[in-house]
Amino acid sequence: MTISAVQPQAGLLATVAHELRGPLGALETASEILDRDFDLLDQQQVRVMVSAIHRRALWLHGLMENLLCAATVDDGQLRMHRRPLNLLELIHDTTLLVEPLLKRRGQRLKVRTCPTVPLVSADSQRLTQVLLNLVSNAAKYAGAETLIEVVVSLREGRVRLTVADRGPGVPNDKVAHLFEAYNRAGRTDGEGLGIGLSVVRSIIDAHGGQVGFANRRGGGAAFWFELPGIAGSLFLNDDTTERKRVG
């Protein structure tokens, strides 16, 4: 291996190590306190510690999944195991995973969808990874106590899922490179390697779909992906508590 090849790899490893140091340190501290002082802590203190461990474990799991996915893309080994999938069920399951993160920041997630939505042919695990990346990204850069919206709409037989926030948005000169690997759109705040959006694009591309972005009027960002709907698979969304007509 040449020096020119080793240097970028070493830089990436150093970045990964830096990103891991914080959450691993928090896990170590919280678990040490629980192990040492469990009998001295009240129920609320234990709950706070366990919640902190859970959040960091979820973050580390997401990071590992993104790194593994990026590696398989680089090796040309990204494979999809597709089946008919109800996006609304996927959204519900993903919401349960991100709830600890949103709760910590006082953020709310609102789902809006059209009354009928076709199934899509998709790998449920990979599409969950896509939605986790988009919602986590929105939560990271949106302010505390803000609303994050997940909108499902139809566009000429294609199903579009949009994740929108009221954060700072993205500078216009950075938009063209948003979905490139290790690109953080000029941001220096927050955690992350800048691979989440490139993983999103790679997974959606492998499904024959499209990804996109737009800054929102009034501030904020909206990331979306589209997948072809399965013909003849239209089903009724009967969750009237969350439904609002869109599209």
What does the pLDDT read at residue 237? 62
Residue 11, CA atoms < 13 Å, CB-side half-sphere: 8
Q: What share of the chain is helix, strand, coil (3-state, %, to 5)?
A: 50, 20, 30
- 103 to each of 65, 84, 112, 208, how far by Cα in Å? 23, 31, 20, 34
What does the pLDDT read at residue 220? 93
What does the pLDDT read at residue 175? 86
Q: Where are the domains of the chain?
A: 3-74, 83-236
What does the pLDDT read at residue 18? 64
Contact 131, 93 (CB under 8 A): no
What does the pLDDT read at residue 12? 59
Contact 246, 153 (CB under 8 A): yes
Whether 3-74 and 83-236 share one fold: the answer is: no
Task: Output the CA angle 25-35-41, nearest 5 degrees.
Answer: 105
10-residue mean pLDDT profile of the chain (247 residues): values are 43 66 81 89 87 79 78 78 92 86 89 90 92 91 91 91 93 86 55 76 93 93 94 59 37
What does the pLDDT read at residue 95? 87
What does the pLDDT read at residue 243? 38
CATH code, 83-236: 3.30.565.10
Which residues, including other chains, have CB under 8 Å from residue 227's CB and lie 6 or more apart?
120, 121, 122, 158, 159, 204, 207, 208, 209
CATH code, 3-74: 1.10.287.130
What does the pLDDT read at residue 117? 87
What does the pLDDT read at residue 8? 47
